[in-house]
Amino acid sequence: MKVFDIPGFPNPLRIRIVLAEKGLVSNVEFVKVDLPAAEHKQPAFLSINPTGTVPVLQLDDGTYISECTAITEYLDNLDGNPTLTGKTPKEKGVIHMMHKRAESELADPVGYYFHHATPGLGAALQPYKSPEWEGRVEWGNRQRDKAVAGMRYFDQVLRSQPYVAGDAFSMADITVLAGLIFAGFANIEIPEECEALKSWQANVQQRASVRNPA
């Protein structure tokens, strides 16, 4: 298998943690995509993923799978023992629900803020951003506020359970962690009162797959 991505970026990190959790690092060849140079917006890359985003997983038969959720589902179920996406219908439902909240209430708002209210990754990507409109920066700043509200939400969740979706580490935890890492890069701080979220982050960062992702 091949993974098209760039080291150190939030969504690629999510899949690299998954690969480490599942013991699949040695099964994968990584192909670097130069995001700051807008390589992911060029015809060659768009031919494998028309949304122009990374990561993308290429299977040995040539099939391409994009989107972190879809890639995680595939990798987690390869061995018939899903540990990140749930085994029972209830587990799957709760994990997918919390994972979606991790994206919509934290990771995505951080990204919107970063790309619309800051210089983002630089000049090469400017032509591929949404056109300028009145209030764009203000909208981006509201997304920053939404991300902070998301942090407070997950802090409340983690006051009563060890992980985002319950008693076990899952892809929902991976996405919240990636969102917090992205937030740090974008200079969005976790609110001081979010002690449960900070404690959870410190705990998760000790996992081998997080300390040494693919």
| pLDDT tens for each residue of 29-49 | 999 999 989 899 999 999 999
> Where do the DSSP E strands lie in 10-136?
29-32, 56-58, 64-66
Q: Which CATH architecture has domain 89-211?
A: Up-down Bundle (1.20)
- In the chain, which residues fall in CATH 1.20.1050.10? 89-211
What is the arithmetic mean of pLDDT over 79-85?
A: 97
Q: Could you report how far apart the first and last alpha carbons of the chain are, in Å?
A: 14
The CATH H-level superfamily of 2-77 is Glutaredoxin (3.40.30.10)
What is each CA distance from 131 to 35, 105, 116, 141, 167, in whole angstroms? 19, 24, 10, 17, 44
Decide: residue 28, CB within 10 A, 0-12 exposed, 13-18 middle, 19+ buried.
Answer: middle
Confidence label for 137 from pLDDT (cuts 50, 70 and 90): confident
- In the chain, which residues fall in CATH 3.40.30.10? 2-77
pLDDT above 60 (res 185): yes
